Amino acid sequence: MTVANILHMSTGDGESSYAKNSLLQETVICKTLPILKHTILKLCDANVISGQHFKIADLGCSSSKNTLLVASNIIDIVYEVCTKNNGKPPQFEVFLNDLFGNDFNNIFKMLPGFYAKFRKEKSANPGLCFVYAVPGSFHGRLFPDKSLHFVHSSYSVHWLSQVPEGIENNGLNIFMARTSPHNVFEAYGNQFHADFTKFLQMRSEEIVCGGCMVLTLIGRRTRDPTRDDSGCIWELLAHSLLDMLKEGLVRESDINSFNIPNYFPCEDEVVKIIQNEGSFSLDNLDVFDVNWDPMDTDYENMKDSNEPRHNHGKNTANLITAVSESLLISHFGSSILEMLFMKYEKHVTTHLAKTKTRFYNVVISLSKK
Amino acid sequence: MTVANILHMSTGDGESSYAKNSLLQETVICKTLPILKHTILKLCDANVISGQHFKIADLGCSSSKNTLLVASNIIDIVYEVCTKNNGKPPQFEVFLNDLFGNDFNNIFKMLPGFYAKFRKEKSANPGLCFVYAVPGSFHGRLFPDKSLHFVHSSYSVHWLSQVPEGIENNGLNIFMARTSPHNVFEAYGNQFHADFTKFLQMRSEEIVCGGCMVLTLIGRRTRDPTRDDSGCIWELLAHSLLDMLKEGLVRESDINSFNIPNYFPCEDEVVKIIQNEGSFSLDNLDVFDVNWDPMDTDYENMKDSNEPRHNHGKNTANLITAVSESLLISHFGSSILEMLFMKYEKHVTTHLAKTKTRFYNVVISLSKK
């Protein structure tokens, strides 16, 4: 399976779209803003932004209002610096990247509003801002040599370029489940190692000296993947597929041949790969948790209310639908989707009633040596 | 009406889509290839392509297989030059521009094939090629200062930024019809003058010194617009609206308030605007005709055959549907469309049986002073 030609977040702006089910990703971006700000300020101080241009890339930008959130924040930070120093702000070039099937049309609908806001807010000191789309895989080259000043990526680098090879014996698991054979963990780890190394190599050719990256990805808490619950979100999807197998709605061979191209590394793995690849200095590494359903703000008990927004199982299932639908349809066809996600919602709801499982996030700030 | 937020060629790849009804535009592009080649060779000779980067923009690229045709041709020409001179080809950056509603997703579906072909054909001397999308109006800025080497635009510059103001007295005409009041011709002419001047000003800031443009647009044969049949394609659409008015299917006030934001200038006007604006040298100007239906190749008589492809009225009506549908829907609603274009097809077929009307094309090659 070539992930680059299949994977995309659910398109459009309907109920099951990524655009309507990306609060988690928004919450994560907001939590990383202090690191983003710190990195951009460092870039401004170091005079890396040559001449009048500041070229930013957001890799795996997807398609929702989050997509322009990062760019807005970066522009605000730079304007703040320029205003304080009585300097002229640079001309911003924002390159939004995602795979070929991403719903860029949906992003473009938001651009007139984005530009109008930019012109209005920055009228005191008008600069220029240009937004472009760059379809393609960040496991390959996306930009010319030494052309970027800053790269951002949130919730994308844990996607692999392909399902690891040699894991046919993963059976009815669809990810690194706690019951997976040892070679499955090894194959997933190796694939991430190869992919993240390639990611760093590609970016090291594209980013100018002193240029920076802020990357956020889902990680796992423990070194030993068999003792971690990071893959639980996919294990519950496997349980839902098993239910359908029992009911004769899905074939065993189809589940056997399906695996999710995701890997959640521990911090050590991330740090080692960066050191081995050698092009970037690791300036900062931070970790934080987010509840599966970011509307579950801990101080609200889901049992207290029947309001739809408090249905954390449903919210989480919607999030995972928007993220994995394209992969599932490409493998199983679209007919099973509705039933599958009904079952999934039940499994997630039951799970969350027992355990408050959270995504463990790793955010790193890197600079090009 | 803000054309930039409404106008787009019909989306998707269905029967009435622009993707399926853009043979005319393809034919026009192919006819301008010699001028394109001449201009690119001049650019290569003049060493304008600084260092390793060649940055190309296609303004009003629309969404069909034509969209990548121009980029392919430019890359082929540059590779030919480099091979002959034993030089290393540059890294290509291709920026595809069109308005916010353009179906960029449809273009992006073609990109994996485009990149695969690029890698295969250029494997002997592998360079790098990056394709980006730039949504926005070319009546405003799209790129940073002095960042482009070559700009191409085909069948776009005759689109105005807005319907000219002060033409409420154009009555049941929807364009510069031969029966339009004098001020309508004047208002259209002034709007084109303002828009094309702005177009040149914007590009003059974006293009490097010595950089070039090749622009193709529909023009008219005679200075006197009242003695020219260039607007006939829209006059027949007005007749179709009138038929619907008579049948009570469209309101008179709706036709009165509708005008097409197109202008087909004569060569003199184009030359004068370029001279007045002053940033560009006019290196070349050529004109050529294309039949309304490019499948009508003159040696085939439409009456000889009942094959659908020989139905020149239908082919032409489909072309105009794909081009104007978004404007018509925005003004009249979508319910009238099917009926309107059935009537339009009849009018065009009758017209073409009497007169072989052709589009008169003006192609110019400019270089930044």
Choose the mutation target among A100, A143, A149 for the interface with B, i.e. most B CBs under 10 Å. A100
Angle at which helix A232-246 crosses helix A337-354, to 10 degrees, equals 130
Residue B302's pLDDT is 47
CB contact under 8 Å between A112 and B103, yes or no, is no
- Compute the mean pLDDT over every residue in chain A, rounded to the nearest whole number: 85
- Each residue of A13-40: pLDDT tens digit? 776 666 666 677 778 788 888 888 989 8
What are the distances in angstroms from CA A37 to CA A58, A74, A80, A267?
15, 7, 11, 22
Q: Which residue of B has its CA nearest to A132?
A: B134
- Each residue of A256-295: pLDDT tens digit? 888 888 999 999 999 999 999 999 999 999 988 877 777 7
CA-to-CA distance for A104 and A133, rounded, in angstroms? 7
Strand bridging mode B280-291 / B358-368: antiparallel
Domains of chain A by range and CATH? Answer: 21-228+259-295+357-368 (3.40.50.150)
How many residues make up chain B in this entry? 369
CB B93 within 8 Å of CB B54: yes
Most confident listed range (A80-84, A348-352, B103-107, B189-193): B189-193
CA-to-CA distance for A271 and A277, rounded, in angstroms? 10
How many residues make up chain A in this entry? 369
- How many Cβ pairs within 8 Å bridge chains A and B? 82
CA-to-CA distance for A308 and A34, rounded, in angstroms? 32
* Degrees to nearest 5, angle at CA B243 with B237 and B248: 125
B332 interfacial to chain A (CB closer than 8 Å): no
**What are φ and ψ of residue B88, in 5° steps?**
-85, 130
- Each residue of B309-320: pLDDT tens digit? 467 777 787 777
Q: Which of residues 53-92 of A touch B (CB under 8 A)?
A: 53, 91
**E-strand spans in chain A?**
53-59, 91-98, 129-135, 148-154, 207-219, 280-291, 358-368
B115 interfacial to chain A (CB closer than 8 Å): yes
CB B96 within 8 Å of CB B2: no
How does pLDDT run along chain B (369 residues), one tens digit per residue? 567 666 776 777 776 666 666 677 778 788 888 888 989 888 887 776 766 789 999 998 887 778 888 888 998 888 888 888 877 888 899 999 998 988 899 889 889 988 888 888 877 566 689 999 999 999 999 999 999 999 999 888 999 998 899 998 988 888 888 888 899 999 999 999 999 999 999 999 999 999 999 999 999 988 887 777 778 888 888 889 888 888 888 888 888 888 888 999 999 999 999 999 999 999 999 988 877 777 776 655 445 445 554 677 777 877 777 778 888 888 888 888 888 888 888 888 888 778 888 889 999 999 999
Residue A310's pLDDT is 62
A142 interfacial to chain B (CB closer than 8 Å): yes
Q: Which residue of A has its CA nearest to B90?
A: A144
Residue A281's pLDDT is 95
Which of left, alpha, beta for B298 (phi over 0: left; psi -120 to 50: alpha)?
A: left
Name residue, tokens 């001179």: B85
Gap between the terminal Cα atoms of chain B: 35
A39-44's contacts with Cβ under 8 Å and 24+ in sequence apart are A39/A150, A39/A212, A39/A214, A39/A283, A39/A284, A39/A365, A40/A74, A40/A77, A40/A78, A40/A150, A40/A212, A41/A77, A41/A81, A42/A212, A42/A283, A42/A367, A43/A149, A43/A150, A43/A210, A43/A211, A43/A212, A44/A78, A44/A81
- Each residue of A134-176: pLDDT tens digit? 999 999 999 999 999 999 998 889 999 988 999 989 988 888 8
CA-to-CA distance for A144 and A160, rounded, in angstroms? 23
Task: Enumerate helices (H) and strands (E) in chain A, giving the number of each.
Answer: 11, 7
CB contact under 8 Å between A105 and B109, yes or no, is no
For residue A147, which residues of chain B lie inside 8 Å, CB to CB? 53
Residue B125's pLDDT is 61
Q: Output the CA torsion sign for A172, A176, A177, A178.
A: positive
- Each residue of A194-224: pLDDT tens digit? 999 999 999 999 999 999 999 999 999 888 8
